[in-house]
Every structure is written in C-alpha cells, then in structure tokens.
Amino acid sequence: MRSIRIALAVVAATAVAATGAASPAAASSAAAGERDIVQTAVAAGSFKTLTKLLKRARLVHALKQPGPYTVFAPTDAAFAKVPKRKLNALLRSRAKLRSVLLYHVAAGRLPAADVVQRSSVKTLNGKKVRIRVRNSNVFLNKAQVATPDVMASNGVIHVIDRVLVPRAG
C-alpha cells in the first residue's frame, strides 16, 4: 500500500513538472474545488476537444449535476492520436459519441488511492474499464494516468494520455 502511494506521488509530481503551470493539477486547489468537473476541465485549457465533444453529445449538463463523478479525461494530445476517420464517425453518431464519452465516467468520487485498489471500474455506459498498476504507473485499459486527483466540486478528474474506446458487445 505504501509503495502504491509513493508511486502515485511520483506520477503526480512528474506530470506536474512535465506540464508546468498549464496543468490542471497546478490550479489552486481552493479554486478547483469550487468548480464543477466541466468548469475545471475548461479552466485547465488542455481539454478543448473533450469539452467540445461533451457539448456535441449533450452531456455538459449531466456532468454539472452534483454527482459525484469520476472522469478519466483524455487531453487534446490524446484525442490527436485518434485517427480522423474514427473521430469523424463518432461526430456523425451522437449515440456512439455518448457511449465513448460515458466510458470515461464512473459514478462516485474515486480518488487515485481507491482506483489503484481495484482491478476494474464500471463506467456510466455500462462497461468496465480495466485498471492495472505497473512500475509505478496506473493504466486504464491502455491509457496511462498522467495526472491523478484533479478535484472538482462534484467529483474528481484523472487525466489520461489516450482515449478509452469500449469494446463492442
């Protein structure tokens, strides 16, 4: 347990150092704690694609509700890794877009200390995301947690480096 906490601290410190003041973790904890998940993501500045897609999928209002929620938030760089044709296909189908976006959200406030104790977490689209801890890194499916525990008034955001895509079926 102690080694997991140390690993999370190392991951968080590395992510903050690598991303600098623009990092969502660098925001004042008091200010971030007063903002909801959507406001926190917008203020971070590195989630423009995610917030645009949340608007398109009509999920902004839902993520402004009291929750609490845990959001595994891909950065703009993570969305840039998605092939254009796949992203365009999501944009053409609001149902598919909602499914993918809801695969990034779990009910309840799950800080990193709780996430690493699990082997999976059920998302709001009904499917589970697998959780692994390897060499001081936390992975959700193949996405690595870059910055854990970005607190918001209605939940917590864990910044990830890839877009999670639910398996069919």
Does residue 6 register a pLDDT over 50?
Answer: no
Residue 9, pLDDT score: 33
Topology (CATH level 3) of domain 2-160: FAS1 domain (2.30.180)
DSSP SS3 for 27? coil
- 39 and 154 in contact (C-beta within 8 Å)? no
Confidence band, pLDDT 50/70/90 cuts, at residue 168: low
Does residue 23 register a pLDDT over 90?
Answer: no
Residue 128, pLDDT score: 94
- Residues 149-167: what's their mean pLDDT? 92
- What is this structure's pTM? 0.79
φ/ψ of residue 92, rounded to 5: -80, -20
Determine the Cα–Cα distance for residues 119 and 24; give it in Å rounded to an integer: 26
Determine the Cα–Cα distance for residues 54 and 59; give it in Å rounded to an integer: 5
- Residues 23-51: what's their mean pLDDT? 71
Q: For residue 161, what are the β-bridge partners?
A: none
Determine the Cα–Cα distance for residues 94 and 97; give it in Å rounded to an integer: 5
Residue 76, pLDDT score: 94
Give the largest Cα separation in the chain, rounded. 46
- Residues 100-129: what's their mean pLDDT? 94
Residue 67, pLDDT score: 84
- 75 and 147 in contact (C-beta within 8 Å)? no
Which residue type, as a one-letter code, is found at position 133? Answer: V
Cis preceding-peptide flag for 68 (omega within 30 of 0): yes
Does residue 111 register a pLDDT over 90?
Answer: yes
